[in-house]
Amino acid sequence: MATSNLDQQERKLSTYVSEATEDVEDELAESAMTLIEHLEELRKRIFKCLISVVIFSIIAFVFRVQIMSFLSSPLPKSSDALTSGKIVVTGIAEGFTITLLISLAVGILLSIPVILYQTWAFIAPGLYKNEKKHAVPFIAIGIVLFAIGLTLGYITIRYPLEFLVQFSSGMFTELVTANSYFTFITYFMLAFGIVFEIPLVLTFLALVGIVDSGMLKKKRSTAHVGMWIAACFITPGADVYSPIILGVAMSFLYELSIIFIRVFAKK
């Protein structure tokens, strides 16, 4: 009798262990399948982003003459008496290489909405409802602000260029190379584009509880002085206009950040 009970208990224990093992195996299999599905989804999203970059880069390469003319127009005609202000290359392949790099940069720039959308489509299923509510306007406003920053940078860049050319004209004969010029304007325009993301950065810090509108108001005078000093270092050259334009923009964006925080990070 005792042996029979012991056998029954062993069978029950064996059945329980077997069922528990099967449950664990099922969970592991489901988890592995979910991970594989996520990786496959990520691969598809990245592939779509790369396709977008390739397509826009090809389009940019087709219109390379117009793009080069547009980017070169801020350069003063007096920049070089030998070339009448035209940009020069110092190697056989340099012109082709720089054209490819600029086409790629334009392709990436034009693909930003696609990249952001694909990123959003990948992470959106895992976000809470309130996080989704903030993400969409953040992405849209971020694109608009970055575009405004790039545009203002392009408009402003002629002032440091004119100053630097006039400063050197009496002492040197300038040959403006394509590499140095496009590196210069890329840095300048990106600096403006990044600076214009200040409202989003401060609003995000407010959403996670690091700052609030009251703190920004309290530190307003110190922040404005700091931003004007930063504007002098960010803008190359010693012209008057570019640091003033960037300083005014940064001060305006700081005040805009306070409004953004009231709208997006209100309790």
What is the full per-residue pLDDT of the chain (267 aa) written as tens digits? 545 554 555 555 455 445 555 554 455 444 444 777 778 888 899 999 999 999 999 999 999 999 998 998 888 776 555 455 578 888 888 889 999 999 999 999 999 889 888 888 888 777 777 767 777 788 888 889 999 999 999 999 888 888 887 877 777 777 788 888 898 898 889 989 999 999 888 888 888 788 888 888 988 889 999 999 988 888 766 677 888 888 899 999 999 999 888 887 665
Query: Is residue 214 in a domain?
Result: no
Query: Is residue 108 in a domain?
Result: yes
Encode burial over 42-80: b for 16+ CB neighbours within 10 A, e otherwise.
eeebeebbeebbeebbeebbeeeeebbeebbebbbeebb
Domain range enclosing 6: 2-196
Q: Is 86 exposed, middle or buried (0-12, 13-18, 19+ CB in 10 A)?
A: middle
Query: Is residue 45 in a domain?
Result: yes
List the structure tokens of 129. Answer: 């409802």
Number of domains in the chain: 1
Distance, in Å, from the CA atom of 23 to the CA atom of 147, rounded to the nearest integer, reads 53
Looking at the DSSP assignment, which residues form a beta bridge with residue 88? 177
Distance, in Å, from the CA atom of 168 to the CA atom of 164, rounded to the nearest integer, reads 6
Query: Is residue 122 in a domain?
Result: yes
- How far, in Å, are 71, 174, 224, 263 from residue 68 at the CA level? 5, 20, 36, 41
Distance, in Å, from the CA atom of 226 to the CA atom of 129, rounded to the nearest integer, reads 37
Nearest to 264 by CA among 196, 199, 214: 199
Query: Is residue 235 in a domain?
Result: no
Looking at the DSSP assignment, which residues form a beta bridge with residue 177? 88
Query: Is residue 175 in a domain?
Result: yes
pTM value?
0.76
Answer yes or no: are the C-beta atoms of 203 and 264 closer than 8 Å: yes
Per-residue pLDDT, 56: 96
Query: Is residue 84 in a domain?
Result: yes
Nearest to 182 by CA among 87, 108, 92, 90: 87
Query: Is residue 30 in a domain?
Result: yes
